């Protein structure tokens, strides 16, 4: 899966089994699907308070309907945050050091009650000067229960090697 593939395409490469993966365990085109999470009103209200983003489109159904949405919509960064939380721990545990970048598109709204998960594929790998670390490019798509891809893009993740004593 890459962000340019159509939803539903069967990706090339290995489907990763649940477990722990270091930089040295991953190959280009490896892919997996995360567990899912249902977006709740508590998520939206909590994220509004945390971020300070109280824009009416997230807080007021009538206002959101006036903009053509079915009701108030989740913050885009809430959806990304939930998907990012699933990305490295469920059911695949990636041995990350730090996220280095995101190149991201918000393509459709996430509504309260939607269940989302992420489809992730290794799109690139590069070694760094440190022998115990490498950087992977992950193509990532956030999907709703309907199969609609509502967010997608790429992220760079610095990872450590599995069994790396200095990590």
Ligand X SMILES: C[C@@H](O)CC(=O)SCCNC(=O)CCNC(=O)[C@H](O)C(C)(C)COP(=O)(O)OP(=O)(O)OC[C@H]1O[C@@H](n2cnc3c(N)ncnc32)[C@H](O)[C@@H]1OP(=O)(O)O
| Structural tokens at position 57 | 């489109």
Identify the residue among 88, 137, 151, 155 touching ligand X (CB under 6 A): 88
* Cα angle 68-74-78, degrees, rounded to a multiple of 5: 150
Q: Tell me if 101 contacts ligand X by CB under 6 A.
A: yes
User: Least distance (Å) from ligand X to the CB of residue 89?
Assistant: 9
Q: Which residue has the tokens 């998907």?
A: 83
SS3 assignment, position 85: helix
- The residue range among 23-31, 45-53, 62-70, 92-100 that interacts with ligand X, by the rule CB under 6 A, is 92-100
- The residue range among 37-45, 104-112, 128-136, 141-149 that interacts with ligand X, by the rule CB under 6 A, is 128-136
Query: Among residue numbers 131 through 160, which ones bind ligand X (CB under 6 A)?
Result: 135, 156, 158
- For helices 76-87 and 41-51, what crossing angle results, to 10°? 100
CA–CA separation, 140 and 118 (whole Å): 7
Where does this chain bind ligand X (CB under 6 A)?
88, 96-101, 128-129, 135, 156, 158
């Amino acid at each position: 899966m890459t962000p340019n593939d159509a939803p539903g395409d069967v990706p090339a490469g290995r489907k990763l089994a649940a477990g722990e993966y270091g930089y040295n365990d991953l190959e280009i085109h490896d892919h997996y699907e995360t567990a899912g999470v249902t977006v709740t009103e508590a998520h939206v209200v909590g994220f509004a308070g945390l971020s300070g983003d109280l824009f009416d489109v997230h807080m007021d159904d009538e206002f959101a309907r006036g903009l053509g949405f079915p009701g108030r919509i989740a913050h885009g960064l809430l959806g990304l945050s939930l998907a990012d939380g699933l990305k490295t721990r469920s059911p695949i545990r990636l041995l990350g050091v730090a996220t280095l970048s995101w190149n991201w598109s918000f393509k459709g709204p996430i509504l309260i009650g939607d269940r989302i998960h992420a489809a992730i594929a290794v799109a690139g790998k590069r070694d760094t000067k440190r022998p115990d670390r490498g950087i992977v490019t992950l193509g990532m798509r956030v999907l709703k229960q309907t199969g609609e891809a509502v967010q997608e893009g790429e992220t760079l993740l610095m990872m450590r090697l599995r069994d790396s004593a200095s990590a």
